[in-house]
Amino acid sequence: MLVDAGVDYPEARTVVDLLATSRGDVLISLVESSDPTEIVVSIGEDRSRRRVRLEAGEHVEVIWRGPEELRSLPTELIAAELHPPQWRLRPVGPSTRGQRRSAVRAPLSLQVQMTVGPDVLHGLTVDISEGGIRALFAPREPARAPAPAGQPTAGVAPEQPVADGGPDAGNPLRVGAVLPLVVRLDDREEVACRGEVIRRIPRQDGGIELSLRFLDMPEKTQDLIRRHVFAGLRQLRSRGML
């Protein structure tokens, strides 16, 4: 039996993710009212903030952040109303621990810095989600081998990057390396976290392009990034860039 608001069903004014069986994307919605027998939510919106249409009888998984963890509740859409625009959902099973949200990614250019040993590299994101970033950094200063005593260092070849999967255990940018990051979301907010290198993208201009996965990021911080992602997508769409 559903008994605990926030744990067994989402409370009113909670932002929720909706996973409909007929769609492959994640919809975002707001709980208008809820009790153990019925949950009323605003009509789900896609990542471009467009309301979508679902038919009565659709199975909808509702995912929200509970007091201690993500929660998930299976429901059935019993009615879609236009005035006001909302969906009425009926729980069809018990709530369980929710799976990690599917990350919505936006092609936003944000300032980011990454600490690599004694160096701090500055760059820009290519895209971002609450799960991680793809970012481009300026080239590092080339490493030079120490010259024998009495010999000049000029002409020594710079360090060459080692291909992924090779013997690059000493490469600080190898796949699997964990590095401190600071992502500047806007003039007032920035996020400091750790990022794991999951991919290195080859470039001809010497730039460093990496895909990094955020590690141990609190749910509250993920929600902050998620809000910026959706806001950025709305702006891009209003400018005709999506």
Asked whether residue 72 falls in the same domain as residue 186, the answer is: no
Domain that holds residue 131: 111-141+164-238
* Residue 169: per-residue pLDDT: 62
The amino acid sitting at 236 is L
Q: Where residue 122 sits, what CATH number does that domain have?
A: 2.40.10.220
Asked whether residue 57 falls in the same domain as residue 127, the answer is: no
Asked whether residue 119 falls in the same domain as residue 226, the answer is: yes
* Residue 212: per-residue pLDDT: 94
Asked whether residue 131 falls in the same domain as residue 91, the answer is: no
What number is the average pLDDT over the span 112-116?
Answer: 96
pTM across the whole model: 0.54
Tell me, yes or no, whether 217 lies in a domain: yes
| Tens digit of each residue's pLDDT (9 = 90 or more) over 7-50 | 999 999 988 889 888 877 788 899 999 999 999 999 998 877 78
Tell me, yes or no, whether 195 lies in a domain: yes
Q: Name which residue leads in pLDDT, 146 or 190.
A: 190
- pLDDT confidence of 204, banded at 50, 70, 90? confident
Separation between Cα atoms, residue 240 and residue 233, nearest integer Å: 11
By the 8 A CB rule, do 206 and 139 touch?
yes
Whether 142 has a pLDDT exceeding 60, the answer reads no
CA 41 to chain centre: 23
Asked whether residue 56 falls in the same domain as residue 170, the answer is: no
Asked whether residue 47 falls in the same domain as residue 119, the answer is: no
Whether 146 has a pLDDT exceeding 70, the answer reads no
- Closest by CA to 60, choosing from 10, 130, 5, 2, is 10
Separation between Cα atoms, residue 85 and residue 208, nearest integer Å: 47
| Tens digit of each residue's pLDDT (9 = 90 or more) over 65-113 | 888 778 889 999 999 998 899 999 999 988 887 765 556 778 899 999 9
Tell me, yes or no, whether 2 lies in a domain: no
Asked whether residue 35 falls in the same domain as residue 129, the answer is: no
| Tens digit of each residue's pLDDT (9 = 90 or more) over 156-189 | 333 334 344 444 667 899 989 999 999 999 888 9
